[in-house]
Amino acid sequence: MHAILTMALKDLRLLWRDRFGMFWVLVFPLLQALFFGAIFRGDGKDTAKMTIGVVDEDQSQSTQSFIKRLRDSSALSVEPPLDANGKPATPLTPDQARDMVRTGNLVAFVIVKKNTDENEGFTFAEMPKLEVGIDPSRKAEAGYLQGILTEASFKGLQDAFTNPAGMRERIEKASKQLDVGSGLSAPQRIVLKTFFTSLDQFLGSVDPKVYHEGPQAMGGANIQLVDITREKHGTDNSFEITFPSAMLWGVIGCTAGFAISLVTERRTGTLLRLRVAPLQRTQILAGKALACFLACSGVILLLLTVGHFVFGVRTTHPALLAMAIFSTAICFVGLTMLFATMGSTEQGVAGVGWAVMLVFAMIGGGMIPLIAMPQWMTVASNFSPVKWGIYSLEGAIWRGFSFAEMLQPCGILVAIGVICFAIGVQLIKRRET
Amino acid sequence: MIRVDDLRKSYGSLKAVDGVTFDIQAGETFALLGPNGAGKTTTIHMMVGALKSDSGSISIDGATDPTRPVVRQKLGIAPQSLSLYEDLSAEENLQFFARIYGLHGPRLKERVDHALNFAGLADRRADHVKTYSGGMQRRLNLAAALVHEPKVLFLDEPTVGVDPQSRNYLFDNIEALKRAGCTILYTTHYMEEAERLCDRVAIMDHGKVLALDTVEGLISKFGGKSVILAQLDRPPTDPTRLPGRLDGLTLRIESEHPLEDVARLSSDGLRFTTLSIKRADLETVFLSLTGRTLRD
């Protein structure tokens, strides 16, 4: 056992001193966990607003109110922005607004046209006339914008009703316009005059608060927006998904490193020295396996420690975590022995080892999280030890596996490890005799 | 001490070692001399139990199985390649190899210090091996073989790729080991090394031992006569009385006793502007045995 430990410590020391190897074993997996963890971290509350440009040709109080309602919308970002005095910093011209949409700087433009209704007929609630243009590549948002504009317009009508005195002035004005020269026939004028009179009486007798607080105010359909959080399976912490994957990348780095080191020992002759020493072949391989096991376990533990203390990765089930770490390390020790026989040079072993490992990682959740995989890929991932490694670690971290549920992934990992180790040792033995 | 009898090893149709037989006495330095591919390294690997022979037997200090730990404890090997961990220091390398032979505590420290001094690397003990020159690495390669104080040392081409100064240092090291009574099996394709260091030499080619004897014995059996080449200062008065062949003023004589012949010619009144005596050596022996030189 002393000799095995001596050989394992030597290998760990060599790994530690190999900066390039340490990058793949520790730095790269950590960077990967941080990068993807940060990407997946968003909770959906900072959804981008639709940026539109607004041109006010009317410059009336009612159009300014309309534009203010657009600015107040949580769904829109309105250009130009306002200065300290609440005025548009640099008002857009219609041509500028059209150009900005055409060049992709705005999703849409809204031109509030000059209102000439006073000369054309009657009105008792000012509805803005709008010219709207939208980026043709954003068709899905066209209807969305139209809804927001309609809402803002009807909000103006609702506001008009909350000011009965102002409304009654408008009705009186409209009634006079009917008399002066609307071009309507006498029966039509009588009908409208009767309507205006009734409305005037109605506005004089109803409490304005009704329009705001009544059961069905004049705000269109009674829609209540609720905050919807997308359904998530198990964890709100994206790092709990990326760290198990990163741990497996670290383990893959160890596997490749130790498989290559075995070939290096064969090439340089240090393996010959070991074989001429009073050691059994099994002791030599056990030393290498122990080093690989300790390196794999150490990398997982180190990443887990960083994940726990810095990114809140849960370690509430240490026994299950130990089970996952042990079985994952065993599995990849076995793969190390097998890969060490897949070439006679370091380049050969590195090429085959990394190629196989990348495929395992690709289909096993090392690149795409297991929970984000399509169905067919989930099935394919069953053939990858990387999947079972990640699955066991996730089971202990956030999937809430019981001991019995942990047995499946851990059992598969240990079985792969033992089988690959046995095959690898036999092939090494055959090669060296 | 060591007995190798009819050792054979084939790789497919290639007979790497073909019926090799020799024995080595305790404290003897024994050379396997031959060109690359002669079967020297394969023979050594079978002798230390790193390679299984197809047939034949090996006996080391009375034990017939070199893979037994008790036998291996007595063996040390300096492989042909630099079998060291480049990212470890000289001291760490030696400590590691000593530990796997079971050394620990003060004995470990004593042996590591001894090996470092032996290799002349005590002042660079903490430096990583990859920072060493080729000669220093070769010396450490040898030191790693003897750190556990083996009875038998297998040195496989220990001076390959080193500069003359380092080679001389290695020769001094090996001669020191000889004086200390270590049994050494030395493989080389440099005849000068075999002549300088080894008590007996087995000449190998194509997996076979072609001849085995002391250097002097081999030369006397297979080396042929020495050659005297003399440049005369003037034409001789009677060329027919001269031994050998005269070409202009150049005289070439093959002789078993070259010094006596030169003395006789001088007393006969011949004067030489240049004179050289080429004594037969292992190169000549190899040439006469195989029809080609060691470096072919």
Contact B100 A268 (CB under 8 A): no
**Residue A259 pLDDT exceeds 70:** yes
pLDDT band at A433 (very low <50, low <70, confident <90, very high): low
Please give the residue range of the domain that contains residue A135. 50-162+208-213
Tell me if B129 sits within 8 A of B84, measured CB to CB: yes
Contact A270 B102 (CB under 8 A): no
Q: Alpha-carbon distance A274 to A266, whole Å?
A: 10
| Residue A266 shares a structural domain with residue A348 | yes
Instruction: Tell me the shortest Cα–Cα distance from A1 to chain B, in angstroms.
Output: 11
Please report the pLDDT score of residue A321 as a whole number: 94
- Which residues on chain A are in Cβ contact (under 8 Å) with B75? 276
| Residue A86 shares a structural domain with residue A151 | yes
- Which residues on chain B are in Cβ contact (under 8 Å) with A18? 87
Contact B49 A14 (CB under 8 A): no
Tell me if A417 sits within 8 A of A335, measured CB to CB: yes
- Which residues on chain B are in Cβ contact (under 8 Å) with A273? 77, 79, 83, 97, 144-145
**Closest C-alpha to B212, from B10, B43, B63:** B43
- Which residues on chain A are in Cβ contact (under 8 Å) with B92? 13
Report whether the peptide linkage leading into residue A80 is cis, meaning its omega lies within 30 degrees of zero: yes
- A279-302 per-position pLDDT tens digit: 888 889 899 999 999 999 999 999
Sheet holding B200-205, edge to edge: B75-78, B152-156, B183-188, B29-33, B200-205, B208-213
**Residue B31 pLDDT exceeds 70:** yes
Contact B97 A273 (CB under 8 A): yes
Residue A173 lies in a domain: no
Tell me how many degrees the CA angle A151-A156-A158 measures, rounded to the nearest 5: 90
Among chain A residues, the shortest Cα distance to B95 is held by A6
| Residue A37 shares a structural domain with residue A54 | no
| Residue A264 shares a structural domain with residue A369 | yes
- In terms of average pLDDT, the best of A410-419, B45-54, B263-272 is A410-419
Mean pLDDT, chain A, rounded, equals 82
- A202-225 per-position pLDDT tens digit: 777 766 666 555 544 444 445 555
Q: Note which residues in 20-79 of chain B have CB less than 8 A from chain A.
A: 45, 48-52, 69-70, 72-73, 75-77, 79
Please report the pLDDT score of residue A46 as a whole number: 47
Residue A275 CB neighbour total at 10 angstroms: 22
Residue A362 lies in a domain: yes
Question: What Cα–Cα distance (Å) separates residue B9 from each residue in A360, B52, B57, B157?
Answer: 41, 8, 12, 20
Which of A18, A260, A276, A285 to mutate: most B Cβ within 10 Å? A276
- Which residues on chain B are in Cβ contact (under 8 Å) with A268? 81-84
Length reported for chain B: 296
Instruction: Tell me the shortest Cα–Cα distance from B287 to chain A, in angstroms.
Output: 32
Sheet holding A108-112, edge to edge: A76-79, A50-56, A108-112, A130-134
Contact A2 B73 (CB under 8 A): no
Give the pLDDT mean for B253-273.
Answer: 88
Q: Is B125 helix (H, G, I), strand (E, B) or coil?
A: coil
Q: Alpha-carbon distance A328 to A389, whole Å?
A: 5
Mean pLDDT, chain B, rounded, equals 90
> Is A279 in CB contact (< 8 Å) with chain B?
yes
Instruction: Tell me the shortest Cα–Cα distance from A292 to chain B, in angstroms.
Output: 17
For A203, the enclosing helix (H) or strand (E) is helix A186-205
Question: What Cα–Cα distance (Å) separates residue A30 from each residue in A246, B247, B278?
Answer: 6, 83, 71
Residue A195 lies in a domain: no
Question: What Cα–Cα distance (Å) separates residue A104 from each residue in A77, A138, A341?
Answer: 15, 10, 57
Q: Alpha-carbon distance A239 to A41, whole Å?
A: 8
Contact B50 A14 (CB under 8 A): no
> Is A173 in CB contact (< 8 Å) with chain B?
no
- The two counts, helices (H) then strands (E), for chain B are 10, 13
Using only the alpha carbons of chain B, give its radius of gyration.
23
Tell me if B61 sits within 8 A of B33, measured CB to CB: no
Q: Is B88 helix (H, G, I), strand (E, B) or coil?
A: coil
- B1-26 per-position pLDDT tens digit: 899 999 999 998 899 999 999 999 99
| Residue A122 shares a structural domain with residue A267 | no
pLDDT band at A122 (very low <50, low <70, confident <90, very high): very low
Candidate from B72, B81, B82 with C-beta closest to A277: B72
A417 or A76, higher pLDDT: A417
Residue A150 CB neighbour total at 10 angstroms: 12
Residue A285 lies in a domain: yes
Give the pLDDT mean for A232-238.
Answer: 66
Contact B50 A276 (CB under 8 A): yes
Both structure tokens of A418: 């033992």
Tell me if A86 sits within 8 A of A152, measured CB to CB: no
Instruction: Tell me the shortest Cα–Cα distance from A309 to chain B, in angstroms.
Output: 33
**Residue A57 pLDDT exceeds 90:** no
Tell me how many degrees the CA angle B155-B158-B162 measures, rounded to the nearest 5: 175
Number of residue pairs across A and B with CB atoms under 8 Å? 71
Residue A170 lies in a domain: no
Least confident of A137-146, A403-412, B54-63: A137-146
**Residue A148 pLDDT exceeds 50:** yes
**Residue B225 pLDDT exceeds 60:** yes
Q: Alpha-carbon distance A260 to A347, whole Å?
A: 8
Q: Note which residues in 218-257 of chain B have CB less than 8 A from chain A.
A: none
Q: Alpha-carbon distance B25 to B33, whole Å?
A: 18
> What residue type is assigned to position B261 of the chain?
D
| Residue A376 shares a structural domain with residue A249 | yes
Residue A178 lies in a domain: no
Candidate from B77, B87, B100 with C-beta closest to A272: B77
> Is A282 in CB contact (< 8 Å) with chain B?
no
Please report the pLDDT score of residue A123 as a whole number: 55
Please report the pLDDT score of residue B273 as a whole number: 93
Domain count, chain A: 2
Q: Alpha-carbon distance A160 to A154, whole Å?
A: 10
Q: Alpha-carbon distance A172 to A155, whole Å?
A: 22
- Of chain B, the percentage scoring pLDDT greater than 90 comes to 54
| Residue A67 shares a structural domain with residue A26 | no
Instruction: Tell me the shortest Cα–Cα distance from A327 to chain B, in angstroms.
Output: 29
Q: Alpha-carbon distance A350 to A342, whole Å?
A: 9
pLDDT band at A130 (very low <50, low <70, confident <90, very high): confident
Give the pLDDT mean for B229-249.
Answer: 86
DSSP conformation letters of B48-64: TTSS--SEEEEEETTBS
Question: What Cα–Cα distance (Å) separates residue A116 from each residue in A122, A128, A147?
Answer: 11, 10, 24
For A209, the enclosing helix (H) or strand (E) is helix A209-213
A174 or B133, higher pLDDT: B133
Q: Alpha-carbon distance A241 to B251, whole Å?
A: 92
| Residue A391 shares a structural domain with residue A279 | yes
The pair phi, psi for residue A382, each rounded to 5°, is -60, -20
| Residue A313 shares a structural domain with residue A417 | yes
- A9-27 per-position pLDDT tens digit: 999 999 999 888 888 888 9
Contact A275 B85 (CB under 8 A): no
pLDDT band at A182 (very low <50, low <70, confident <90, very high): low
Contact A433 B51 (CB under 8 A): yes
- Which residues on chain B are in Cβ contact (under 8 Å) with A272? 45, 50, 77, 79, 83
Sheet holding B14-24, edge to edge: B14-24, B2-11, B55-60
What is the SS3 string spanning A127-196? Answer: CCCEEEEECHHHHHHHHHHHHHHHHHHHHHHHHHHCCHHHHHHHHHHHHHHHHHHCCCCHHHHHHHHHHH
DSSP conformation letters of A30-99: HHHHHHHHHHTT--STTPPPEEEEEEESS--HHHHHHHHHHHH-TTEEEESPB-TTSSBSSPPPHHHHHH
Domains of chain B, with CATH numbers? 2-219 (3.40.50.300), 225-279 (no CATH)
Please report the pLDDT score of residue B99 as a whole number: 94
Candidate from A2, A18, A274 with C-beta closest to B87: A18
Residue A224 lies in a domain: no
Candidate from A2, A273, A277 with C-beta closest to B79: A273
CATH number at residue A144: 3.40.1710.10
Q: Alpha-carbon distance B125 to A85, whole Å?
A: 77
Contact A276 B96 (CB under 8 A): no
> Is A274 in CB contact (< 8 Å) with chain B?
yes
Tell me if B63 sits within 8 A of B30, measured CB to CB: no
Give chain A's end-to-end CA distance (angstroms, integer). 25
Pairing of strands B75-78, B152-156: parallel
- B89: which DSSP letter? B
Least confident of A152-161, A424-433, B57-66: A152-161
Give the pLDDT mean for A54-61.
Answer: 85
Residue A356 lies in a domain: yes
Please report the pLDDT score of residue A35 as a whole number: 86
- Which residues on chain B are in Cβ contact (under 8 Å) with A277? 72, 97, 100-101
- B149-192 per-position pLDDT tens digit: 999 999 999 988 888 888 888 899 899 999 988 999 999 988 88
C-alpha count within 13 angstroms, C-beta hemisphere, residue B291: 0
**Closest C-alpha to B134, from B88, B166, B91:** B166
Q: Alpha-carbon distance A123 to A198, whole Å?
A: 16
**Residue A231 pLDDT exceeds 50:** no
- Of chain B, the percentage scoring pLDDT greater than 70 comes to 99
| Residue A24 shares a structural domain with residue A83 | no
| Residue A103 shares a structural domain with residue A128 | yes
> What residue type is assigned to position A315 of the chain?
T
ipTM at complex level: 0.83
Please report the pLDDT score of residue A230 as a whole number: 44
| Residue A30 shares a structural domain with residue A110 | no
> What residue type is assigned to position A24 of the chain?
W
